[in-house]
Amino acid sequence: MRHATLLRTGLSALLVVGAWTAAGPVSASAAPAPAEPPASAALLSAMQRDLGLTEQQAVTRLADEKAATALEKKAQRAAGSAFGGSWLDAETGRLTVAVTTAERAEAVRATGAETRIVEHSAKSLDAAKARIDALKAPSGVSSWHVDPATSRVVVNVVAADQADNDVRTFVAKARKAGPVTVRTTAETPRTFAAGTVGGDPYYTGNVRCSIGFSVHGGFVTAGHCGGVGQQVRGWDNSYIGNFQGSSFPGNDYAWVNVGSGWWTVPVVLGWGTVPDQLVRGSNEAPIGASICRSGSTTRWHCGRVLAKNETVNYSQGAVYQMTKTSVCAEGGDSGGSFISGDQAQGVTSGGWGNCSSGGETWYQPINEILNRYGLRLHTA
């Protein structure tokens, strides 16, 4: 931010709130500091509102998700080539790992995870999805992803278009690529950029989007919000920087350098109505985990991770390796932050529906963006 008097709500992860100060010395007789809460009061409140939880249930869920996230890689290694995917069971709070053999199931259970015997490995399902990725999808096909719980590739078709000849032809070809289940969705996916609205966080030309997460030297956001070299202006119309990298479609990510008196801090802002959330890392939450989104239009909303590595068929072209959530979003929220507990997850891309009637939203995973551009997340 340029200076303290310019602080306002609306910049999700770029603005400084108050001063960062070093702690003074603590005497040997001082009482130990209380344990840090699992998340800000704002995030817990949003989880209660959007997931129908009590405060204690939200706290318990975050603890379960943290444990599942830490266990997921270990359990996958134990499953070896029999690994069929994994997800968090919201009822039990345990990580469930799909495996293709009983022998590997025993090894996975030894790590502390639950297991389910399935027909297909994750490797074979990913190969089937890759074959579907090579097909040209009509507009009536919304998206497709691997579902580890059913051990199949799920192809999502817009309900009103399921009888369309092009849609039926695509589905027939997809079935030849591997084990496929067809489901219906309410609407065609779209990106969530918006026309210029005065006083909101950042602009490129006549497009308004939201900041995702601070990285050292700038911030990450959605690729469809601007192309390489395009100038970015802040909420006060002052110059922030330029798009240094951008990819859309195929991907939907970008990063913007920060200069001209602006700086970065590891927070996702609460837009003036809720406290801010510190960002402490980017450990990837499993399928089934709770997740919250912050954006310049609809502020805080929460939901669940529904699917990973989903291909989304926007009108501008397909975008790959997206994560689908049950969180709502609206125009102007594009690029904004998806966070699970205090762990950055990704930047808002698009979806269908709105925050009045509900819907689904996809994000581009943060670690892919960091790796692509060699960026380092700014953490607390």
Catalogue the active-site residues: 224, 252, 334
Give the Cβ contact number of residue 55 at 10 Å. Answer: 12
Contact 339, 351 (CB under 8 A): no
214: nearest Cα among 277, 157, 166 = 277
The CA-atom distances, in angstroms, between 282 and each of 69, 111, 216, 369 are 11, 23, 14, 11
**How far lies 199's CA from each of 233, 238, 345, in Å?**
11, 12, 27
Longest dimension (CA), the chain: 76
Q: How far apart are CA 173 and CA 207, in angstroms?
A: 37
Listed in sequence order, the DSSP H helices in the chain are 41-51, 55-79, 102-109, 122-133, 165-177, 366-373
Q: Please, what is the Cα angle at 258 between 336 and 350, to 5 degrees?
A: 20
* C-alpha to C-alpha distance for 127 and 251, rounded to whole angstroms: 19
Query: Which one, of 196, 199, 197, lies nearest residue 6 by Cα?
Result: 199
As a whole number of angstroms, the distance between CA 72 and CA 283 comes to 11
Which single residue is written with the structure tokens 């590891």?
266
By the 10 Å C-beta count (0-12 exposed, 13-18 middle, 19+ buried), 50 is classed as: buried
Rounded alpha-carbon distances, angstroms, from residue 347 to 77, 190, 258, 334: 28, 15, 18, 7
Q: Measure the CA–CA gap between 154 and 348, rounded to whole angstroms.
A: 22
Rg (alpha carbons) of the chain, rounded to whole number: 21
Both tokens assigned to 359: 């819907």
